[in-house]
Structure 1
Amino acid sequence: MKNRVVVTGLGVCAPNGVGLGTFRESLVQAKSGITHYEDLQKLKFSCQVAGKPNINTVNLNEYFSKVQLRGLDSSGLIYGVLAGVDAWKDAQLVKSNDTNPDWDSGIVFGTGILGVDKFRDSIYKLDKGDVRRLGSTSVIQTMASGISAYLGGILGLGNQVTTNSSACTTGTEAILMGFERIQSGKAKRMLVGSCSDSGPYVWGGFDAMRILPRKFNETPDKASRPMSATAAGFVPGSGAGALVLESLESALARGVKIYAEVLGGAINSGGQRAGGSMTAPNNAAVQRCIQEAIANAGIDAEAIDAINGHLTATTKDTTEIENWCQALNRRGDEFPYVNSFKSHFGHCLAAAGSIESVAAVLQLEQHQLFANLNCEDVHPDILKLVSNDKIPRETLNFPAKIIAKASFGFGDVNACLILSKYQDSL
């Protein structure tokens, strides 16, 4: 018998809200977290709007020791620790004692690029011959696994502690990796999620590719327009999302709140073949990933009530909807409700899947589907596939039982997660 896996803790550090309560309220009220940044304007970015968590009011002493705070200059690492520690507390879990680690709990926490600002500072010091001034934290703040190492040490976890990286698919992949470890009985609890650095050194490459919107610098809250006919590219974002996954047996024994159940999912790659490339998906692989996720979850395609898509506000949005139609064999009025949270806070890159998964879980908990912002003018090719009323423009009261959440990343990599309202018996 495979273990059932449930979500018992949530944490988030997002452009539209730092902390679960603020994040939830912003989603319900359809409040955008995308703003204009003067530093992008000074650097002559074509796109000068972005999504960046506001951590100015956060007391970092509640998350880091004084030693850890010395020279701390990695935004992604900070976001990840805030979200991860908050999720652990939300699950009513505590740090293990100073003698023994918690052997039953582990971490899969992903990132794309970590510590860009710290790395830049280190390069300048090295170029000046000031190697001794690098300090003792430059390595751990710039290595990819720095985020899982920090969280593992702060919480004292003794099961697998690792970092994954698969571009925009990272966060959703991390959830599935943790899910599989618990399902197989190798761990009781896994802290899963992902984080992404903020700032021009992360976003500059995308601006150079000319895939970011350039006409909304005066109206930043209108810039991210998934599924819209006037979509002009994705808005870059940053932050972190975290979930505590736990075996149902452990959660029931502890008597804690259960937000949702992870029924299953799938991960694959299109191999950059048959139309797939470094930046474009192999459509057959996307459809296969969705179908394998449904089979792994043990449900029928008709059972999916809502989709939280990858949907980045690019020309690929219509293609993604077509892939969902093909994979589910559902169109028009039969198509599930569909939304994209990138309209609320931009495309958070490696953190996208985890932040959006936190929001997807909140939809199940709240009996609501959150709005698609800036989608008054749905792309006409999408309306040929999906009924207009299946694309919510405002928060909709709807008791969804099963939500599919997908991420599709650079490198032609895919992940699809099936989340369910928790039921005592299945």
Structure 2
Amino acid sequence: MKNRVVITGLGVVAPNGVGLEAFTKAIKTGTSGITFHQELQDKGFSCCIGGIPEVSEEKKLAYLTPLQLRGFNSTSILYGCMAAIDAWKDAGFLVDENSNLDYDSGLIFGTGTSGIEKFRESIYLIDEQKVRRLGSTSVVQTMASGISAYLGGILGFGNQVTTNSSACTTGTEALLLGFERIKNGKAKRMLVGSSSDSSLYTWGGFDAMRVMTYKHNETPEKGSRPMSETASGFVPGSGAGALVLESLESALARNATIYAEVLGGNINSGGQRNSGTLTAPNPEAVQKCISDALLDSKIKASEIDVLNGHLTATSKDGLEIENWSNALQRKGTNFPYINSLKSMVGHCLAAAGAIESVASVLQIKEQFIFPNINCEDIHPEITALISSDKIPTKMIEKNINIVAKASFGFGDVNACVIFKKYIQ
């Protein structure tokens, strides 16, 4: 018999809210975290706006020691540690460096890039023949698994401790990998999530590809426009999201707060076939990912109340809606409500799936649908498929039972997870 898996802790570091309380308030009120950044303009970027979480030096010391912060400049690891530690505490656990090794708990925490600032610093030092000035943390800050290495030691986990990386799908994939581990009895608890840094060296490549908007440098909060006819490219974002997954048996035994249940999901790839490319999805594979997620979760398409889409504010938004409609066989007024958190925080790249999963679960726990901002002019390709009232521009208080969350990433990779309100 397979274990049921529930969510008992949440943590988030987002451009529009650091910490669960601030983030919840922001997504309910439709508050944008997109701002203008002078440094981007100074470096010649076309898109000079982005979403960067506000984290003070004092705030950093609440999560990492002065020794850990010495020579430290990886925002990906910082954001990930903050979100993950908050989630672990939110689930009712202590953070104690002298705790016993916990073989029942593990983590899968993903990222796209780590320590690019440290890489740059290292290159200059090596070129100047100053290798010994690199510092003792240069390796852990620049290796892909640096985030899981930090967290594994801080929390003392003895189960699987690893990092995954699948572009924009990373966070949703991490969640599903952790879910499978608990479902199959390999762990009692898995801390899952993903993070992405706010380095202009990460964002620069996308600016060069001309996939980011350049039209809203004077009006940053209006820049991220998923599903809008006037969308002109995505806005870069950064941060981290984290969720504590736990077997239902373990959660009930310790009387834990349960945010929602994870029913199932699916991960697949379009293989860059059938019009799929490095940057464009294979529609057939996307639809199969969604359909297989429903099969794995043992639910009907008609049971889904809300979709939290990938929806990046590019020309592919209409195709995504079409894929959802075809996979679910629902359209017009029969289509579920759908929203995109990216309207408020931008595209947080590798962190997107995790931050958006936190937002999806909050909708179930607090029974609301967060608004799509900057979407007063829905693209006609989309209104031809679904009713405009299914794309709310104001928060709706509503009984939410099932939310589907999907991510579709660079490299033609897909993931879809199904969350359900927990009922005893």
TM-score band, normalised by shorter chain: over 0.9
8 Å contact kept, 1:74–1:116 = yes
State how far apart, in whole Å, the 1-side matches of 2:391 and 2:99 are.
52
State how far apart, in whole Å, the 1-side matches of 2:193 and 2:97 are.
24
Deviation readout 1:264-310 (Å, 9 max, x if unpaired): 00000000001000000000000000000000001001000010000
| Residue 150 of structure 1: aligned partner | 150
Alpha-carbon distance, 1:58 to partner: 4.7
8 Å contact kept, 1:140–1:146 = yes
- 1:5 maps to amino acid: V
State how far apart, in whole Å, the 2-side matches of 1:32 and 1:294 are.
32
- 2:396 maps to amino acid: L
- 1:91-102 paired onto structure 2 within 5 Å: 91-95=91-95, 98=98, 100-102=100-102
State how far apart, in whole Å, the 1-side matches of 2:348 and 2:420 are.
24
| Residue 298 of structure 2: aligned partner | 298
Matched, 1:119 2:137: no
State how far apart, in whole Å, the 1-side matches of 2:131 and 2:400 are.
56
| Residue 272 of structure 2: aligned partner | 272
| Residue 255 of structure 2: aligned partner | 255
8 Å contact kept, 1:96–1:102 = no
User: SS at 1:258's partner residue?
Assistant: coil
| Residue 177 of structure 2: aligned partner | 177
| Residue 378 of structure 1: aligned partner | 378
Cα 1:72–1:392 change in 2 (3 A) is same
- 2:180 maps to amino acid: E
Alpha-carbon distance, 1:60 to partner: 2.0
User: SS at 2:167's partner residue?
Assistant: coil
Cα 1:368–1:99 change in 2 (3 A) is closer
| Residue 59 of structure 1: aligned partner | 59
State how far apart, in whole Å, the 2-side matches of 1:126 and 1:395 are.
52
| Residue 232 of structure 1: aligned partner | 232
State how far apart, in whole Å, the 1-side matches of 2:111 and 2:331 are.
35
| Residue 323 of structure 1: aligned partner | 323
- 1:183 maps to amino acid: K
Matched, 1:160 2:160: yes
Alpha-carbon distance, 1:366 to partner: 1.2
State how far apart, in whole Å, the 2-side matches of 1:99 and 1:256 are.
20
Cα 1:131–1:69 change in 2 (3 A) is same
| Residue 2 of structure 1: aligned partner | 2
8 Å contact kept, 1:47–1:207 = yes
Alpha-carbon distance, 1:95 to partner: 3.3
Matched, 1:400 2:414: no
- 1:223 maps to amino acid: G
Structure 1's unaligned 5+ residue stretches are none
Identical residues among aligned pairs (%): 64
| Residue 133 of structure 2: aligned partner | 133
User: SS at 1:170's partner residue?
Assistant: helix
User: SS at 2:244's partner residue?
Assistant: strand
**TM-score scaled by length of structure 1:** 0.98
**TM-score scaled by length of structure 2:** 0.99
User: SS at 2:40's partner residue?
Assistant: helix
Q: What count of residue pairs does the alignment treat as equivalent?
A: 424
8 Å contact kept, 2:96–2:154 = no
Deviation readout 1:241-265 (Å, 9 max, x if unpaired): 0000000000001101000000000
Deviation readout 1:353-377 (Å, 9 max, x if unpaired): 0000000000101110000010000
State how far apart, in whole Å, the 1-side matches of 2:298 and 2:415 are.
17
Structure 2's unaligned 5+ residue stretches are none
| Residue 195 of structure 2: aligned partner | 195
8 Å contact kept, 2:168–2:407 = yes
Deviation readout 1:14-65 (Å, 9 max, x if unpaired): 1001101001111111100000000001011100000011102652222112
State how far apart, in whole Å, the 2-side matches of 1:126 and 1:97 are.
34
User: SS at 1:169's partner residue?
Assistant: helix
| Residue 39 of structure 1: aligned partner | 39
Deviation readout 1:52-84 (Å, 9 max, x if unpaired): 111026522221123211111101100000000
| Residue 108 of structure 2: aligned partner | 108
State how far apart, in whole Å, the 1-side matches of 2:17 and 2:420 are.
24
Which segment drifts farther, 59-68 or 82-91? 59-68
State how far apart, in whole Å, the 1-side matches of 2:420 and 2:316 are.
27
State how far apart, in whole Å, the 2-side matches of 1:336 and 1:58 are.
43
8 Å contact kept, 1:96–1:157 = no
